[in-house]
Chains A and B, each alone.
Chain A
Amino acid sequence: MYTAGIDMGSRTVKVVIIDNDAAGAPSVKKTHLMFPGDVDGDAAADKAYDDALAAAGLRRDEVRAVFATGAGRKTVNFATDSVTEMSAGAKGVSYFFPSARTIVDVGAEEGRGVKTDGNGKAIDFAGNEKCAAGAGSFAEAMSRALQMTLTEFGEASLRSDKSIPMNAQCTVFAESEVVSLIHSATPKEDIAKAVLDAVASRVCAMVRRVGIDKDVVLIGGMVHNPGFVQALKSSMDVDEVKLPEIPEFVSALGCALLAAEARQ
């Protein structure tokens, strides 16, 4: 039996199709990422899903159930059901790390902390409805200001051992702090570290609301930023932050797993 999960994020649509008949655990048959650009919510979901099916060599009627998540989950008209990002993320993480208790999800526009019960169920969550300085897009904007890619920005931060506190709580003021650092000829790697430390500290403050229990797992696009992972470890004061194999697809995978459970 095939099931699918669709994560309708603010910038991307992610699709995961899983084969639930594989020996042992369900196996991921296909992952598909689409940047919808100007395409509308439901049309974007349709296109991303059709492309994923084509790549997997499947027809729609071969997939028994489709669950949707993400900010635009209600726009996925063909979804069998929809679930929140907390439940989808918790389920997806349990596939890779059954021992996970704290999930830190940092995407482009928002971050959240989720506590799980050890069986892939979310039992506590906290988000930050206001502060984009605790999300990936802020780090991205600051990397552009330094004329670096986000990858270069993350790598540069690892070469710094300076600790420059950034006090601003919102992106606008934080940006002006970065501009001051640039004007005072502060080395780029030190600025990069200051920015990633600031994002990590905001994320950490939010995760503390749900409590930090081991194992801690980071999901979302910021997994690819080694500087942020390091900053988060220091900020949370933990030895290890586990990183799943397909970090951007974890929530879509969680949806596909929940869809399979609902069909059993």
Chain B
Amino acid sequence: MIANYGYKDGSGEYYISIDTDRCISCAAGRACLTGCPKGMFENMTDDYDDEVVQVKQQFRRNLAYDCADCKPSGGHASLPCTTACTPGAIKHSW
């Protein structure tokens, strides 16, 4: 499943999408969990009893702000989460 977490508001569309099919047999040892400096990701068991990850509830309404430090203006050339997730399951919409 592609799970899109986030929102659209007056300033733009802020979604993190996770291709949870890739998490099931994660080849990166769940590196997203420790790769994100804010600890935004967490394990969950989905409705089909597969172990996947999701964006924690408390971050889903504030992605534009919480991820700002990692975006180019925050000094990062690439995002820690997408770099850590070598299977390529994580995408940002902005």
A residues at B contact (CB < 8 Å): 83-84, 86-87, 115, 121-131, 168-170, 202, 205-206, 209-210, 258
| Cβ proximity bits B45-86 to A, threshold 8 Å, 1 near / 0 not | 011100000000000110000000000000000000000000
B→A interface (CB under 8 Å): 1-10, 13, 15, 17, 46-48, 60-61, 93
What chain B residues lie within 8 Å of A130 (beta carbons)? 7-9, 61
**Contacts A/B (CB < 8 Å), 11 sampled:** A87-B48, A115-B2, A122-B47, A124-B1, A124-B2, A126-B4, A127-B4, A127-B5, A130-B8, A209-B4, A258-B47
Q: Interface of chain B, helix or strand or loop or mixed?
A: strand
Report Cα–Cα, A126/B9, bound state, in Å.
14
Beyond the given A125-B2, A168-B10, A170-B9, could you list 18 further A-B residue pairs with CB under 8 A, ordered by the A residue number?
A83-B47, A84-B46, A86-B1, A86-B47, A87-B48, A115-B2, A121-B48, A123-B1, A124-B2, A125-B3, A126-B15, A127-B4, A128-B6, A128-B7, A129-B5, A129-B6, A210-B2, A258-B47
CA–CA, A115 and B4, complex, Å: 12
Given known A83-B47, A87-B47, A130-B61, contact A122–B10 (CB-CB < 8 A): no
* Separation of A168 and B9 alpha carbons in the complex (Å): 9
A202:B47 contact, CB within 8 angstroms: no
Which chain B residue lies CB-closest to A115?
B2
Closest to A126 in B: B4
How far apart sit A124 and B61, CA to CA, in the bound complex (Å)? 19
A84 engages B47 (CB within 8 Å): yes
CB distance A131 to B8 under 8 Å?
A: yes
Q: How many angstroms between the C-alpha atoms of A124 and B4 in the bound complex?
A: 8
Nearest-Cβ distance from residue B8 to partner chain A, whole angstroms? 6
B47 touches A210 (CB 8 A): no
CA distance A128 to B15 in the complex (A): 9
Contacts of B1 in A (CB 8 A): 86, 122-125
Which residue of chain B is the closest to A112 with respect to CB atoms?
Answer: B4
Check B15 against A209 for contact (C-beta < 8 Å). yes
CB-CB under 8 A from B48, the residues of chain A are 87, 121
Taking a contact as CB atoms closer than 8 A, the residue among B4, B60, B93 that contacts A125 in the complex is: B4
Measured between alpha carbons, how far is A170 from B8 in the docked complex, in Å?
Answer: 10
